[in-house]
Structure 1
Amino acid sequence: MNFLRALRIIWVVGRYRLDTLLQHQALPWFISFLFWLFPLRWVFRAKDNEGRRLRLALERLGPVFIKFGQILSTRRDLLPEEMADELAYLQDRVAPFAGEVAQRIVEQQLGKPIAELFAEFDLQPLASASIAQVHTATLSNGDKVVVKVIRPGIEKVIRKDVRLMKMMAGLMNLIPDGKRLRPLEVVEEFERTILDELDLLREGANAATLRRNTIDDGKLYVPVVYWEYTRKQVLVLERIYGVPVSDIETLKASNTNFKVLAERGVEIFFSQVFRDSFFHADMHPGNVFVDISNPDIPKYIGIDCGIVGSLSREDQSYLAQNLLAFFNRDYYRVAELHVESGWVPANTRVNEFEAAIRSVCEPIFEKPISEISFGLLLIRLFQTARRFDMSVQPQLVLLQKTLLNIEGLGRQLYPQLDLWKTAKPFLENWVKEQVGPKRFVQALVQHGPSWLAKAPQMPDLIHETLLQMRKLGTADERLRSELLLLKQQEHRANRRVLRRIFAVGVLIALMWQAPLQDTLANLSAGQWLAGLVALGFILWP
């Protein structure tokens, strides 16, 4: 079966001439020769651009490769811009599986007949994607819900295709420039992401957390999870009714306030990243709807919470300060923060890094503020930082992807969106809260009970620490003494070696003056004395 799958992949590679994506002049000669012999090379011509051909090939290869293309499109630090833009158009064009099969999976997972679980269950799917499909249903209490069911056999297909992807990634490493693209790392990242999406309990937990974090703001609505009907392969959610965010005509017809809608999207993003440190990382238009019951103050509805991101407190702080430094065009501070955070090596020359950042950012800042893409600015910054050996930060990659989605949505809804004006006050307030008295009081309230609980143990801990320090001091003194003794022994050994080298040199000189065939009687008294001294140096321990 793997062999047949491999043959199909080879056929698709030839059909869409993906061989042109590789720089033939940079390939080892034997691989170039195999490409030259490849029969499909002479049958098909490369008509479209490379990005489009790659997208069409991934669509032809099926759901796993489509999902891979979607995730790959977020790695703009690895791909040419034109190719990343093309892959961003990938949609889950996957044929649905039979509703009866979905019904059987639900019954197996929940352990009851479908008639006992739901008052109604529509066998016709509402939507079908790479990993799962969705059916509408009604609970016995009258609640309208959607039932998400994992595609049968998809895990086996995923693991099989991932093995083939890893094999192809290994072949890419043979290309001189292939290692720079880190193909194996990209495939492993894809494997982790897609296998996580197979666990609908994880997605339900993500949705419940996002709902709890955002419900009081009134800007984003996340559907309720019905936990009693949720299992690893089945997820039951409240059914939502909204307008797809991409349906601009319907939103216009409803007199939706696009300015408020666009600004709310930015506020939601920054609140999730900096306030909650838990953000929806898959906010493409297919996962975003709009509640237009009050068109003057529209509300977002977010679904499909399979992919989420999180930042540590340190990453939050460094990122916020980076963004503020950008707003103020303080490039030296941006470079400094990258070094302080450990994103680039500590030996990086800050002045050189600052000059590189300025060369990237200044041309962008010359544009009108409404035309500046903040997401692309961050991407170009990270691309520049890679020249200074910036290590890959997975949490920042997810952040880039989400920011690009949010900014793209905002500009589509309201082209005059000033992301900077919306974001800067939020960031300034957040940074002030992290270092001001308010933050100190919050930390006291948050950690105070724990500190009080540990207080009785503090005297014993201090006493034990002092004892350990005394022991360490004694051990340190002993170690210093041993090191000093070793140095003295090494010094004596070096002197002994030098003496013996000198003595051997003297003996060689004497032998040179008096060859072996001569008798020892030919040596003068001085030569005898020099020889005896040299021999003494050799024998002296």
Structure 2
Amino acid sequence: MKLLAVRRLLRIQRVVIRYRLDDLLFALPLPWWLMAIRFTMPWRWLPRKPLELTRGARLRLALQDLGPIFIKFGQLLSTRRDLLPADIADELMRLQDRVPPFDPKLSVKLIEEQLGAPVNEVFSRFDVEPLASASVAQVHAAQLKSGEEVVVKVVRPGLKPIIAQDLAWLFLLARMAERLSADARLLHPVEVVLDYEKTIYDELDLLREAANASQLKRNFEGSPLMYVPQVYWDWCRPKVLVMERIYGIQVTDLATLADQRTDMKLLAERGVEIFFTQVFRDSFFHADMHPGNIFVSTVQPWSPQYIAIDCGIVGSLTPQDQDYLARNLFAFFKRDYRRVAQLHIDSGWVPAETRLNEFEAAIRTVCEPIFEKPLKDISFGQVLMRLFQTARRFNMEVQPQLVLLQKTLLNIEGLGRQLYPDLDLWSTAQPFLERWMRDRVSPKSLFQNVQSQVEQLPRLANMTRDLLERLSQPHAEDQPPPRKQSGDSRALRLLGGVLMAAGATVAATSGAATTMAAWPAWVMLGAGVYLIARR
């Protein structure tokens, strides 16, 4: 453990003591053995003056002082009003875009260093006072020389050492958990922290965020569902991003949305549709959709359109995960719990020896009570706890590649709970999944699958040619003699093995092995079997 990481731990301890977070912990109904830990804390032996801060303010200020990783945790918590008291949730909402800014003079200096020119040469107007400030960066309003109103985003200085120290402790805790607990090993905590490390460092690169925003804008070009601001690439650098300034209502400003007679039911439904569109149609989803990054257009309140900003964190799924997830959700919406259980076994998410009937019954017990209920009547905290207990019972492994997706789904669910508590999440999502499943077997989709598989044939031909060239080379003296069979027969059998392997790979990755779209794979498999079996 590095000295800096030890210093960081002491810093965390000082913040806990300063804001009396241990008092918040021990105010909860804990087991006696946990309550006994408070007597081992030396700072609790001395009399302390009461803080003139609410518990929510203490928690917010503590997370704020501890830096970006803790702030992002607070942002996620702020959307879960079903899990937190209202006073704490209200305070944590301030972490979304009201983190104290750093020195504006330092901000201007950093921008000029990145752009290689004074701000008055690049912009006709630049507001020194920040427009908004968050965990990783702060934003200034400006106007380009060409007249466009823009925002200039600049990364906070000195973040990398703090993030590195926090990650060092997260890795230590994850490795300890894997060594000490079989249950923890099923959660793959080290892989989860590795994924988070990549995500948080990617967020510090604003060129990556600009590229993500451009891709997301193309995906929703002309869509009534969502608008993404334009990026001005000429003025984007690794630590500076210049993009179109948007004017909208923050999605949590329910009073203003009501004043302009926004269709809240449609707004909530479109939020769900946007999520499923990004995940299944595009396999490219905004993975930081807390309310501070989402606005609502004021143009057509009867047909509300979302405006998304801050695309620093995005996620994607492999075709295999996308296919398994869609089929799981589709079976779930149909209440086909046996199919859900079978898909979990087929995908390797639970061990192959799992008893199907028992797993099906356990899933039904957890999921059946939440159907046909509006969002306001569902306690997702209890549902998630029971799902975790079920997963532990059946040795189900957490998929690290789905962690971002789960986080995003929690954000969407928390947002929907605020916008329209009577939203029926299942009936809103089911029609979209049904359309997506139909589109996958449409003539256009089948043609694209065939085309992508045919494109693999030149690569297969090159592999076969290389194999035959190696077989035709003279046999080395220091190697054992070949088996007694003709060179042609051996080459053909090896070619058959290559064709079988290639055919199985294409069939497995096509996501449509049971449809006519996979015919090239079956042709390769058949040819391979024939070449191996022939005499």
Gaps of 5+ in 2: 472-488, 498-535
1:361 maps onto 2:387 in alignment: no
CA distance in 2, matches of 1:260, 1:113: 46
2:234 corresponds to which of 228, 233, 237? 228
* Amino acid aligned to 2:251: V
Shift of 1:467: 4.3
Aligned pairs (5 A) from 1:207-222 = 207-222=213-228
CA distance in 2, matches of 1:421, 1:213: 25
Shift of 1:54: 9.2
Is residue 17–residue 41 contact of structure 1 (8 Å, CA) maintained in 2? no
1:114 maps onto 2:119 in alignment: yes
Question: Which structure has the larger Rg?
Answer: 1
1:265 maps onto 2:298 in alignment: no
Provide closer, same or farther for how the CA distance between residues 375 and 6 of structure 1 changes in structure 2, counting only shifts above 3 A.
Answer: closer
1:7 maps onto 2:17 in alignment: no
Partner of 2:319: 313
Partner of 1:537: none
CA distance in 2, matches of 1:376, 1:431: 31
Is residue 66–residue 90 contact of structure 1 (8 Å, CA) maintained in 2? no
CA distance in 2, matches of 1:201, 1:126: 21
CA distance in 1, matches of 2:307, 2:253: 14
Is residue 376–residue 417 contact of structure 2 (8 Å, CA) maintained in 1? no
Is residue 226–residue 308 contact of structure 2 (8 Å, CA) maintained in 1? yes
Is residue 260–residue 297 contact of structure 1 (8 Å, CA) maintained in 2? yes
Is residue 247–residue 297 contact of structure 2 (8 Å, CA) maintained in 1? yes
Partner of 1:337: 343
1:400-439 CA deviation, whole Å, 9 max, x = no partner? 2222222332232222222222211111121222245442
Partner of 1:520: none
Shift of 1:252: 1.0
Partner of 1:62: 66
* Amino acid aligned to 2:281: R
* Amino acid aligned to 1:62: L
1:278-323 CA deviation, whole Å, 9 max, x = no partner? 1111111111000021111111000011111111111111111111
1:417 corresponds to which of 416, 420, 423? 423
Between 376-385 and 244-253, the greater mean CA deviation after superposition: 376-385
CA distance in 2, matches of 1:65, 1:444: 45
Is residue 131–residue 139 contact of structure 2 (8 Å, CA) maintained in 1? yes
Shift of 1:113: 1.8
Provide closer, same or farther for how the CA distance between residues 57 and 177 of structure 1 changes in structure 2, counting only shifts above 3 A.
Answer: farther
Partner of 1:204: 210
Q: Secondary structure at the match of 2:299?
A: coil
CA distance in 2, matches of 1:379, 1:210: 33
**Number of aligned positions between the proteins:** 463
Report the RMSD for the aligned CA atoms in angstroms. 4.1
1:395 maps onto 2:395 in alignment: no
Partner of 1:493: none
Is residue 188–residue 400 contact of structure 2 (8 Å, CA) maintained in 1? no
1:104 maps onto 2:112 in alignment: no
Provide closer, same or farther for how the CA distance between residues 338 and 229 of structure 1 changes in structure 2, counting only shifts above 3 A.
Answer: same
Q: Secondary structure at the match of 1:147?
A: strand
Shift of 1:128: 1.2
Shift of 1:384: 2.3
Aligned pairs (5 A) from 1:462-541 = 467-468=490-491, 470=493
Provide closer, same or farther for how the CA distance between residues 285 and 216 of structure 1 changes in structure 2, counting only shifts above 3 A.
Answer: same
Q: Which has the higher contact order (CA 8 A, sep 6+)?
A: 2
CA distance in 1, matches of 2:221, 2:371: 36
Aligned pairs (5 A) from 1:60-459 = 61-67=65-71, 69-70=73-74, 89=92, 91-92=94-95, 94-166=99-171, 179=184, 187-365=193-371, 367=373, 371-372=377-378, 380-381=386-387, 384-445=390-451, 450=455
Q: Secondary structure at the match of 2:138?
A: strand
CA distance in 2, matches of 1:390, 1:74: 29
Is residue 265–residue 406 contact of structure 1 (8 Å, CA) maintained in 2? yes
Q: Secondary structure at the match of 1:301?
A: strand
* Amino acid aligned to 1:135: H
CA distance in 1, matches of 2:460, 2:237: 43
CA distance in 2, matches of 1:177, 1:10: 29
Partner of 2:501: none
Q: Secondary structure at the match of 2:243?
A: strand
Q: Secondary structure at the match of 1:260?
A: helix
TM-score, length-normalised on structure 1?
A: 0.74
* Amino acid aligned to 2:68: V
Provide closer, same or farther for how the CA distance between residues 409 and 4 of structure 1 changes in structure 2, counting only shifts above 3 A.
Answer: closer
Q: Secondary structure at the match of 2:140?
A: strand
Percent pairwise identity: 52
CA distance in 2, matches of 1:375, 1:321: 24
Is residue 245–residue 285 contact of structure 1 (8 Å, CA) maintained in 2? yes
Is residue 379–residue 400 contact of structure 1 (8 Å, CA) maintained in 2? no
CA distance in 1, matches of 2:490, 2:460: 19
